[in-house]
Amino acid sequence: MIGWLNIGSLLLGIIAWILPVIYLMGNKKHEHSNWGILAVLSISACAISISFQMFYNYHLVKIEDWTALMDTTRAVVIATAVLLIFTLLLNGLTFIVYQKNKK
């Protein structure tokens, strides 16, 4: 059951990146008035993904698996930073495109 947290985190991270890309790719066809919904869903997926990693780390602490915790913490921190930065950049880019098309 706990192993699903990592899979869910990965899937939600991918969803957090795909949603802004969907807006950017479909932007030329017609005006999307649902930019706000996609941005909120993208940032929410990112937040839940990060939360899943925190729950998994808590599980490792609870079962006192210090070796696994020490082995994975660096990778988790780097992956979390990359996920957060790119999610914010993609959503910022979609906001700029939305504002440009709105005029």
Rounded Cα distance between 65 and 73, Å, is: 12
- Give the number of other CB atoms < 10 A from CB of residue 92: 12
pTM for the full model? 0.88
pLDDT of residue 29: 56
> At residue 65, does pLDDT exceed 80?
yes
Rounded Cα distance between 55 and 37, Å, is: 26
As given in the structure block, the two tokens for residue 93 are 């880019």
Q: Which domain holds residue 36?
A: 4-102
Rounded Cα distance between 40 and 15, Å, is: 12
DSSP string, 10-60: HHHHHHHHHHHHHHHHHTTTS--S-HHHHHHHHHHHHHHHHHHHHHHHHHH
Query: How many folded domains does the chain comprise?
Result: 1
As given in the structure block, the two tokens for residue 50 are 């990060």
Supply the mean pLDDT for the chain: 91
> At residue 64, does pLDDT exceed 80?
yes
